[in-house]
Structure 1
Amino acid sequence: MKNENPIGFFDSGIGGITIWKEFDKILPHENTIYLADSRNAPYGQKTPEEIIFLSEKNTEYLLNRNSKMVVVACNTATTNAIDYLREKYKVPFIGIEPAIKPAALNSKTGKIGVLATKGTLTSKLFHKAVKSYNNVEIIDQIGFGLVPLIEAGKIDSEEIKSLLKEYLSVMVQQDIDYLVLGCTHYPFLTDLIKTMIPDHIQIIDSGIPVAKHGKLLLERCGLLNSQKTTGIKEFYINADETVLKSLISNKENYIIQRMNF
């Protein structure tokens, strides 16, 4: 496998851009391909079988484009399909899980909140992670309706504010001091969330630690791109590309395209 080959990313839509941006900050010379399966969003309301099927389809697309590593930039796809993908394919995989560990290790109140999709919160992998941190009480909350609104670009809408107020109040009332964003779409709401929760509650997402882990894995596998120029960044979406374009700086080495897949 060539070091110049791209890193592949896929998500149930535009949410994984929050992960891609952290990778691009620390690995700007890497070529990347991002696949936004917005037509099938949200994955969080689908069955495990459906999630595995879609994850396999996305992976096949990225591997056919010679991806040297696949980042499953979706919490729901990771918690439901990552084990299957690792067994079937030989390339390195990076998964995204709710960042429970740092919250559990640093909580002073002994209570942390996790805002995530139904698909993540009901997965075996999530329940396994929860059992590993029995020193804290985890208050989980399904973010019904948030992903479709984010996909539609309604990040500051009254509708999304109303939903967030409802979901966050449940956790705040139970004295959490950490809020874990367990969906890659949700970091787009961080600024809005900060206006709705007390200042002492810290918000955590997976972007930076996952990108650092990705870099270490590339180094360990001898797959880092040695080129000194900025990598080519390709983005493909199977729905309207307007919101995706608004989230990405349109530079000369960027390709943003709507496709059927």
Structure 2
Amino acid sequence: MNTSPIGIFDSGVGGTSIWREIHKLLPHENTIYLADSKNAPYGPKGKQKIVELSIKNTELLLGKGCKLIVVACNTATTNAIRYLRENYNVPFIGIEPAIKPAALQTKSNTIGILATKGTLSSELFHRTSDLYTSGVTVIEQIGEGLVPLIENGEINSPKMEKLLNLYLQPMIAANIDYLVLGCSHYPYLIPKLQTLLPKHVTIIDSGIAVAKQTQAILERHTLSAPKMNSGTCIFYSNGNPEILRDIVQGNFTVEALDF
């Protein structure tokens, strides 16, 4: 039994969508979340910079005694997780766009993926896509501008609706029946997306799958906390902690931290 915390990091507040699923499945686990909002979004940054930011976040979490680290950012996973696994002696769990279930279940043989430039241009994304999308048309769309709006608390703004309409129209015209969300910020857009997409389009994100993988890895490495433990959750932001506080809600510790 191990009560050390699970560390989670993202380029801002979006990875709280992953934290939420982990906390729901494993309420007895202690968690520490880093919102690197100062450097959001990671998507337009080059691979080397993304690796540097991921190292910085990892070392901060390890300094706080984390037993396992969830890279709750698609861009950081696709660009940096191999380096992290090779250079640090704790388990890492990454997050990838859920292309596989969409490609296997599509009836129209056309799926959409909304993701950051850093994810869509990565080698890992293309390997996964090539593996599962034979015979399936994939409409890729960079969600430029979406992360900054979410980071600023503008999820329901006219600017957000305008961008989403722009990005979704080619997918709707191509008759997608699945939309894969390839950024951990984007699940917060699901209510808005549901109003803009045809009713038959299913939206898929990776949160529940990541939570189940976290549980499996903890058990495999005998790192699980006792079930009777009352899990504590601490959140750090190097941006505006009030936006993070508004998103996570509940009686959690949310602090500003310069990192």
Q: TM-score range by the shorter chain?
A: over 0.9
Show the 5 A alignment for 1:84-233. Answer: 84-133=83-132, 134-233=134-233
Distance 2:230 2:135 in 1: 45
Q: Deviations over 1:191-231 (max 9, x none)?
A: 00000010000000000011011101101110110151321
1:256 alignment partner in structure 2: 254
Q: CA deviation at 1:60?
A: 0.4
Gaps of 5+ in 2: none
Distance 1:125 1:182 in 2: 13
Residue pair 1:181, 1:204 contacting (<8 A) in 2 also: yes
- Relative to the length of structure 1, the TM-score reads 0.97
Q: Deviations over 1:91-123 (max 9, x none)?
A: 000000000010011001111100000000000
1:49 alignment partner in structure 2: 48
- Relative to the length of structure 2, the TM-score reads 0.98
Gaps of 5+ in 1: none
Identity %: 55
Residue pair 1:104, 1:135 contacting (<8 A) in 2 also: no
Aligned residues: 258
Q: Deviations over 1:127-165 (max 9, x none)?
A: 111110213111110000000000000000000000000
Q: CA deviation at 1:249?
A: 2.5
Give the 3-state SS of the residue equivalent to 1:45 in structure 2. coil
Distance 1:247 1:142 in 2: 24
In structure 2, give the amino acid aligned to 1:208: I
Distance 1:259 1:22 in 2: 24
Task: Answer with 146-155 or 124-133: which moved more.
Answer: 124-133
Q: CA deviation at 1:250?
A: 3.2
In structure 1, give the amino acid aligned to 2:217: L
In structure 1, give the amino acid aligned to 2:118: G
Q: CA deviation at 1:248?
A: 1.7
Runs in 1 of length 4+ with deviation above 3 angstroms?
Answer: none
